Amino acid sequence: MLSPRLLKRIDNSFIGRIVSDKRDIIERTNPDKIYIENVRSFFNTSFGIAKFLCEKAVDFGYFEKYYGYKCPIHGNVIYSSKTELEGDQEVYCGTCEDLGKEKFRYFANELNTVVFYRLIKNKEKYAVG
């Protein structure tokens, strides 16, 4: 067992800071909305490598990939799906509608998209190898 004094020393050290940075990242990350940036920051790597890791996690059945569509006014994700929408498909923004904005329906090709991943919790689905 580690003594409290040793734990305190680890906690004050460079390693302790790395561990607590990771803890912060884990606590801030919603398992239903994992962005490439979360993975990049966790592994302290490049965006390209983080994206590759996420795609591999999809291949091995750990993550599901989603496309999120953002309201051009509010920037919040107003629609998400496992497949990309056709450009002429319409998406509603409930916030714009609630605020009585004249325009609250948008074509998919008017919207910025963001890719995110969802952690699959059912372990039986995990691929082996």
Interface residues toward Zn ion, by CB under 5 A? 71, 73-74, 93, 95-96
In the bound state with Zn ion, the residue whose beta carbon lies nearer, of 101 and 125, is 101
Distance separating alpha carbons of residues 53 and 37, to the nearest angstrom = 12
Smallest gap from Cβ 30 to Zn ion, in A, equals: 21
Could you give the C-alpha distances from 2 to 5, 7, 112, 116, in angstroms and in order? 8, 7, 50, 39
Between the alpha carbon of residue 16 and those of residues 12, 21, 39, 102, 119, the distances in Å are: 6, 8, 20, 52, 27
Q: Which amino acid is at 64?
A: E
Which residues fall within 8 angstroms of residue 103, CB to CB, at 6 or more apart? 96
| CB closer to Zn ion, 27 vs 102 | 102
CB closer to Zn ion, 16 vs 72:
72
Q: How far apart are CA 114 and CA 97, in angstroms?
A: 22
| Closer residue to Zn ion (CB): 69 or 116 | 69
Shortest spacing between CB 109 and Zn ion, in angstroms: 16
β-pairing, 77-81 vs 34-35, is unpaired
